[in-house]
A and B are shown apart, each in its own frame.
Chain A
Amino acid sequence: MVWYTVKRLIQGIITVWFIATATFWAMHQVPGDPFIGEKAVSPEVEANLKARWGLDKPAYEQYAIFLVNMARGDFGISFTQESRSVNEIIQERFPVSAILGILAIVFAGLGGVLYGALTALYRNQWPDVIIILLVIIGISVPSFVFASVGQLVLVTINQILGFTLLPVAGWGDVAHMLVPALVLGLGTMAFLTRLMRSSMLEIVSADFIRTARSKGVPAAQVFSRHQLRNAVLPVITVLGPSVASITTGGFVVENIFGIPGLGQSFVLAVQQSDYGVIMGTTVFYGAFLVLMVIIVDLLYAWIDPRVRLE
């Protein structure tokens, strides 16, 4: 298990290096220059930036400086917000995105496992049919549509009630988080529901479930010890990619609900050609997702001995 962890971490570092490299060269190919045009920064800042990033040196030297800085955990500085480092921006804004994302994952995971188990239990009966219909909608409709519809519904509800049940936008307390998190997790929840359903149906008729029953194991214990643990395996494998889709979904949802998360600042950076923030945030997101996938893999290995001992 230790060796497996080390191996996965090394693979992860290589992946992040690839992401950093691709981002760096891609940004170099983007037309435009932050130092010319109407939004140009002041000469002092420009000098400062050039010194720090070696912007007057050849590209491969800049690349080397960039990599060394990244390796030290320095994600660069903003080209548009004077004297702010990307690290500061991440520190300020990532916790907001993380709370939103975690809440969305919890909604998606719990909902997926619960509804999946439910549909399997009521296979081909009306709860199954209804949930599967919703699942199809959940999978095929993009999150910005849900976000807009969610806001619209909230506005209507608040109007009818005559007071603010849940705020329509902004950030602050739990009341602000619920609807955006639900909207953000909806697609993943639908996907997990479908996965859990087929997984449960497969396991219910598995030979080892029959064996457990032949031992006289009580139904509740058959369900928890034998069925659930095995049925949840495929759901765990896709949690990694799910984190990715929820993270990227966050870009849109944060903007629509006016949530001051990292996704919102990333979108803003792209609009303002803030190269520093774009590169820093991209690499940070890359590293974060890679770490998530590794954690999910380790979790999987912990539950499934066949992976653990490979």
Chain B
Amino acid sequence: MALLEVNDLHVEFTTYGGIVHAVRGVDFAVDEGETLAIVGESGCGKSVTMQSIMGLIPMPPGRITKGTALLQGHDIIQNKIIDGRDIRGNFVGMIFQDPMSSLNPTMTIGAQIAEPLEVHRGYSHRDAMKRAVELLDLVQIPEAAKRSRQYPFEFSGGMLQRSMIAMAIACEPLVLIADEPSTALDVTIQAQILDLVESIQRETGMAIVLITHDLGVVARLADTVTVMYAGEVMEAGSVDDVFYRSAHPYTLGLKEAMPTNQTGRTRQLKPIDGTPPDLFAPPEGCAYAARCPHAMEVCLDHNPDPFAIHDEHRTKCWLHHEDCDVEAEGLFQAA
């Protein structure tokens, strides 16, 4: 059994325009010391997936209609409390995309880092503040003691994200969820933040779920990858499998749309034509069919179940059906 295992998660939002089927049967698993990357273009349901696990989506309009998320075997969708303790900030920490707005403007940085220690570990305010200074030091904020008494508006974006990390790891969580932690930051700062997360993981052995749409980041940090599209998992497997033996046309499309910085290699960036489907009324068949260069008749009417390519490598694409004899260019197909 994996440390965190999500099965068949479905999330909807009731809006004036109808019901948005934001997440439609997502599965993934992540183990201790492992990094799972969730990739996919914006709006595909990455944030909603992780926020529903953390109980952070507003209900209403949101609703988790189906699925489980097992943390060490406990379903945390049903119950956020394990052994009398809230799992949030305790066993699972989370950092968000926009550090500027993610911290309380009227509380000192130190007090915000201290808060989970007071809530979950029963620290006195004094002790928690002391620990907060150590944590700020750990995330490499200079003059940590002085900084801990300052407010968010006195920090730069990079330092705020470091503080968010300090806050999320204060109680030494088993899992750290990072929702595009570097997207809102300068390119040079991005790398520093990711390095920091990686080095903390090496020390603590926590699992990381990293949401990103930067495939370069995935290649550098992740052990396993889950590719999402229109609220579904299109392909999942180890980094090597998904990158070098891509088995879904959408994964191929993502790769071609990404710039490479390998020297001596120049090629045209190729955007994926079309737009993601309307999540008010998701298509009957494969969600990607309308944009897929290899779409067949079956793709339009029937949504495939995942096919196992080998080991943990799975993909949701009719091209891998045993009766399909289409050879798509560049696509990995099991023998």
| Interfacial residues, chain A to chain B (CB-CB below 8 A) | 205-208, 210-218, 221, 225-226, 229-230, 233, 303-306, 309
Interface flags for B97-128 (1: CB within 8 Å of A; 0: not) read 01001111111100000011001100000000
Say how far A217's CB is from chain B's closest CB, in angstroms.
Answer: 6
Q: Are A304 and B96 in contact (CB under 8 A)?
A: no
**B58 an interface residue at 8 Å Cβ cutoff?**
yes
Inter-chain residue pair count (beta carbon < 8 A): 80
A225-B104 Cα distance, complex, nearest whole Å? 9
Q: Which residue in B88, B104, B153 is a CB contact (below 8 Å) of A214?
A: B88
Q: Are A211 and B106 in contact (CB under 8 A)?
A: no
Q: Are B88 and A211 in contact (CB under 8 A)?
A: no
6 further A-B contacts with Cβ under 8 Å, apart from A221-B119, A225-B104, are A210-B56, A212-B115, A215-B89, A215-B115, A216-B89, A305-B106
B58: chain A residues within 8 A (beta carbon): 205
**B94 an interface residue at 8 Å Cβ cutoff?**
yes
**B251 an interface residue at 8 Å Cβ cutoff?**
no
Q: Are A218 and B101 in contact (CB under 8 A)?
A: no
Say how far B163's CB is from chain A's closest CB, in angstroms.
Answer: 11
Say how far A271's CB is from chain B's closest CB, in angstroms.
Answer: 49
Of chain A, the residue at the smallest CB distance from B58 is A205
A218-B89 Cα distance, complex, nearest whole Å? 11
A217: chain B residues within 8 A (beta carbon): 89, 115-116, 119
Say how far A125's CB is from chain B's closest CB, in angstroms.
Answer: 12
A214-B51 Cα distance, complex, nearest whole Å? 9
A sample of 14 cross-chain residue pairs with beta-carbon separation below 8 angstroms, ordered by A number, consists of A208-B104, A210-B56, A210-B96, A211-B167, A213-B88, A214-B94, A215-B116, A215-B167, A216-B87, A216-B120, A217-B89, A218-B119, A304-B106, A306-B153
| Interfacial residues, chain B to chain A (CB-CB below 8 A) | 51, 54-56, 58, 80, 85-90, 93-94, 96, 98, 101-108, 115-116, 119-120, 151, 153-154, 164, 167-168
Q: Are B115 and A208 in contact (CB under 8 A)?
A: no
Given the known interface contacts A208-B101, A306-B151, A309-B154, the answer about A214 and B106 at a Cβ–Cβ threshold of 8 Å is: no
Q: Are A230 and B167 in contact (CB under 8 A)?
A: no
A226-B112 Cα distance, complex, nearest whole Å? 10
A206-B100 Cα distance, complex, nearest whole Å? 11
A207-B160 Cα distance, complex, nearest whole Å? 14
A309-B150 Cα distance, complex, nearest whole Å? 10
Q: Which residue in A207, A218, A226, A305 is a CB contact (below 8 Å) of B96?
A: A207
A309-B119 Cα distance, complex, nearest whole Å? 29
A207: chain B residues within 8 A (beta carbon): 96, 98, 101-102
A216: chain B residues within 8 A (beta carbon): 80, 85-90, 116, 119-120
A136-B85 Cα distance, complex, nearest whole Å? 45
The 9 closest A-B pairs by CB, nearest first: A215-B89, A216-B86, A216-B88, A216-B89, A207-B101, A305-B151, A214-B94, A208-B104, A215-B116
Q: Are B106 and A229 in contact (CB under 8 A)?
A: yes
Main secondary structure of the interface of B (DSSP, over half): loop
A210: chain B residues within 8 A (beta carbon): 51, 56, 96, 102
A217-B85 Cα distance, complex, nearest whole Å? 11
Q: Which residue in B55, B88, B98 is a CB contact (below 8 Å) of A215?
A: B88
Say how far B318's CB is from chain A's closest CB, in angstroms.
Answer: 39
A165-B85 Cα distance, complex, nearest whole Å? 53
A263-B303 Cα distance, complex, nearest whole Å? 77
Q: Which residue in B51, B87, B104 is a CB contact (below 8 Å) of A212?
A: B104
A164-B98 Cα distance, complex, nearest whole Å? 61
A206: chain B residues within 8 A (beta carbon): 101
B103: chain A residues within 8 A (beta carbon): 208, 211
Q: Are B116 and A213 in contact (CB under 8 A)?
A: no
Say how far B251's CB is from chain A's closest CB, in angstroms.
Answer: 30
A233-B105 Cα distance, complex, nearest whole Å? 11
Q: Are A215 and B119 in contact (CB under 8 A)?
A: yes
Of chain A, the residue at the smallest CB distance from B87 is A216
Q: Are B105 and A213 in contact (CB under 8 A)?
A: no
Say how far B112's CB is from chain A's closest CB, in angstroms.
Answer: 8
Of chain A, the residue at the smallest CB distance from B94 is A214
A87-B153 Cα distance, complex, nearest whole Å? 47
B51: chain A residues within 8 A (beta carbon): 210
B167: chain A residues within 8 A (beta carbon): 211, 215
Say how far B209's CB is from chain A's closest CB, in angstroms.
Answer: 13
A306: chain B residues within 8 A (beta carbon): 105, 151, 153
Of chain A, the residue at the smallest CB distance from B90 is A216
A172-B154 Cα distance, complex, nearest whole Å? 53
Q: Are B104 and A230 in contact (CB under 8 A)?
A: yes
Q: Are A208 and B119 in contact (CB under 8 A)?
A: no
Of chain B, the residue at the smallest CB distance from A226 is B104
A303-B93 Cα distance, complex, nearest whole Å? 29
B90: chain A residues within 8 A (beta carbon): 216
Q: Are B107 and A225 in contact (CB under 8 A)?
A: yes
A229: chain B residues within 8 A (beta carbon): 106
A303-B153 Cα distance, complex, nearest whole Å? 14
A207-B116 Cα distance, complex, nearest whole Å? 17
Given the known interface contacts A218-B119, A305-B153, the answer about A213 and B102 at a Cβ–Cβ threshold of 8 Å is: no
Say how far A7's CB is from chain B's closest CB, in angstroms.
Answer: 20
A304-B56 Cα distance, complex, nearest whole Å? 26
